[in-house]
Amino acid sequence: MDGNPAQVHRMELHSEKNTDWLEHFNNMQRFRNERGIQIDRKPGIRGTHSSFVDTIPWDLIPDPIQNFVPDLYERYAKFGDALDRILSTLTRQFGASAPTAVQCQAIPLLLDGLFDVLACAPTGSGKTLAYLLPLFLSGRSGLVLVPTRELAEQVARVATHFVGRLGGLNHQVRRFCYPSDVTVWWQESTSKLRTTKNGREADSMEYSAILTAEPLLVIATPLTAVHAYEHALKHETTKSHSPFPAPCAMVILDEADRLLEPSMAPAVDRILSLVLEASKEQDTTVKRPRIHFFSATLPPNADELARSVCASPLRINIEAKGGMTRAVGSVHQSLRFCGAGGNQGKLIALRQMIVEGYEMEPPALIFVATQKACEAVAKELRFALMQRLLKTTEHVPKTLREKQIQLLATRVGAMHAALDRETRRHMLAHFLVGQVFFLVCTDLVARGVDFKCVNTVINYDIPPDGVTYVHRIGRTGRNGRTGRAVTLFCANEATQARICANVMRLSGQDERVPEWLFRLPKKMSQNTAKSGPSGKLPNQARKRARK
């Protein structure tokens, strides 16, 4: 019985002792697969818990919350004032009076801190608050890793609302506002620290000071976090030479499948191993930091990589199947065939959509594959808008029309990685406040960015895989709103269009897929097969997690 815990558990399953355990969970559906046990719990709340190993002590899994009040008060009264302030911030700033499905499941799990969590829930379903809330409520320190700077800034913006509210509380909670602002994140490529308080970059001395103070919440892209670590090492600013919160209670990997892709995996691996190492150095009695993975898509290969870092994560599935959430039902998806004319056909279709307003309601995001295409399509859109204006304002005096045309040109923006940081930030801000109506962009903003009121997403270029498609169209139809997603394809792209058709089928919208598309030979593009992360991760982190 001392050996393999899985064996111990299996033996217990057949013993008398286990009868209570089974009775206790008599509302569970249990079924086995080749990887172990999956258990669905609480069918009343949309979502399930499951694990791929059969060593999970199921009786330690907290019940999902059903509401913020009174559930959180009843269970977590110990957080007192902080709870009041957080709940009032939720209602005032986010209009959140009831938790979403992923929040119901994840908040108690993260608060109890007994398990690593893999949470797969649809786009726009409130995953950010699902991990930030437990961090702020519990007063524990944490590190949030995100794949892009845009997303880092967005998460920091959300966190700022809470930081401000928690400012005057008891010592434990006040730590979040220390040093000047806890919502700090490292700027990609400059390895400088930003504070939200004054909105300027910290200079080298401040940077060192902040590192010495050991920030309690760090939101960073993986490369920048590694940068920061190297900076700290060079200047020996901290006792442990680590700029990461120490001891760190939680590491959150937001958009985890993207972070585990080969381009980012080495940096993530390094950070995880540093954090795990630092937590050991601090105090041997301190628990290993919990590593939580959040995404709308966790394909099987991402799942496996995640499980290589934390031995037995608990998985939360909200409307997910095979590691993919269905695209949100609030998005009306369609495919538009643009004939055999290649890009020319697509441009004509796009211009038609703009000029006639057909299937296109701004604000709209138009996804293209390359930076060059981004600029070219933006130019085309400006031209189409001008045409529309000329058509509708024939009676308007010429000078006024010219002014209107000039103004209209600014309503179309382009957003891609080749633009400098400030231009990207401005463009995004203008789009978010409705000054830019049409944003032509690459997949830079396909993930995570919370566009509250995008009405239309157009896939001008077909996404490389189903995962990207789900994230792209998830920029609309968020937070209870409805949206429209149109994918343009021409004759030579018919097989690739099946990527989108398959997701449409999964979301129950197959009646909008042209019949003939499914009758085509099943030869999918190479990219489709390769969707999701691959390669090796976490050598260092894996070894440490096993110890």
| Helix (H/G/I), strand (E/B), else coil: 104 | helix
Name which of 201, 279, 308 is nearest 535 in CA terms. 308
Mention every residue, 6+ apart, whose C-beta is less than 8 A from residue 415.
374, 424, 427, 428, 431, 439, 440, 441, 442, 444, 445
Nearer to ligand ATP, 122 or 345 (CB): 122
The one-letter code for the residue type at 325 is: T
* Cβ at position 436, least distance to ligand ATP in Å: 19
Q: Cβ 290 to ligand ATP, closest distance in Å?
A: 19
Least distance to ligand ATP, CB of residue 341, Å: 33
Which residue lies nearer to ligand ATP by CB, 103 or 187?
Answer: 103
Q: Which two tokens stand for residue 270?
A: 């390094």
**Where do runs of H (alpha helix) occur along 118-148?**
127-138
> Do residues 123 and 474 make contact, with C-beta atoms less than 8 angstroms apart?
yes
Based on CB atoms, which residue is closest to ligand ATP, 202 or 302?
302
d(CA 274, CA 251): 12
Question: What SS3 class is residue 219?
Answer: strand
Min. distance of Cβ 130 from ligand ATP in angstroms?
Answer: 7
CB of 275 to ligand ATP, least distance (A): 22
Minimum CB separation of residue 490 from ligand ATP in Å reads 29
Residue type, 366: I
Report the candidate in 152, 162, 157, 154 with the shortest Cα–Cα distance to residue 90.
162
Cβ distance to ligand ATP smaller for residue 252 or 275: 252
Whole-number minimum distance, CB 38 to ligand ATP, in Å?
Answer: 23
Q: Give the position of tokens 């009174």.
A: 70
In whole angstroms, give the CA distance from residue 333 to residue 511: 10
**Pairwise CA distance, residues 472 & 1, whole Å:** 50
Dihedral over Cα of 219, 452, 346, 354: its sign = negative
Closer residue to ligand ATP (CB): 479 or 495: 479
Work out whether the CA dihedral 170, 171, 172, 174 comes out positive or negative. Answer: positive
- In the complex, which residues of this chain contact ligand ATP (CB under 6 A)? 94-96, 99-100, 103, 123-129, 296, 448, 450, 452, 474, 478-479
Structure tokens at 491: 């004759």
Q: What distance in Å separates the CA atoms of residue 85 and residue 67, rounded to the nearest whole number? A: 16
- CB of 91 or CB of 189, closer to ligand ATP: 91
Whole-number minimum distance, CB 264 to ligand ATP, in Å? 16
Q: Which structure tokens are listed for 182?
A: 């806890």
Min dist CB 468 to ligand ATP, Å, is 13
Nearer to ligand ATP, 99 or 247 (CB): 99
Three-class SS state of 378: helix
Nearer to ligand ATP, 299 or 474 (CB): 474
The Cα–Cα gap between 355 and 349 comes to: 10
Q: Which is nearer to ligand ATP, 66 or 204 (CB)?
A: 66
Name which of 154 and 208 has its Cβ closer to ligand ATP.
154
Cα 339 to Cα 337: distance, rounded to the nearest angstrom: 6
Closest distance to ligand ATP from the beta carbon of 214 (Å): 27
At 332, phi and psi to the nearest 5?
A: -85, 110
Nearest residue relative to ligand ATP (C-beta)? 126
In terms of phi and psi (left: phi > 0; alpha: psi -120 to 50; beta: otherwise), the region of 477 is left
Distance in Å, CB of 391 to ligand ATP, minimum? 36
Calpha distance 151→136 (Å, rounded): 19
Residue 424 CA neighbour count, 13 Å, CB half? 17
Nearer to ligand ATP, 157 or 175 (CB): 157
Task: Tell the smallest beta-carbon distance from residue 479 to ligand ATP (Å).
Answer: 4
Closer Cβ to ligand ATP, 257 or 461, answer by number: 257
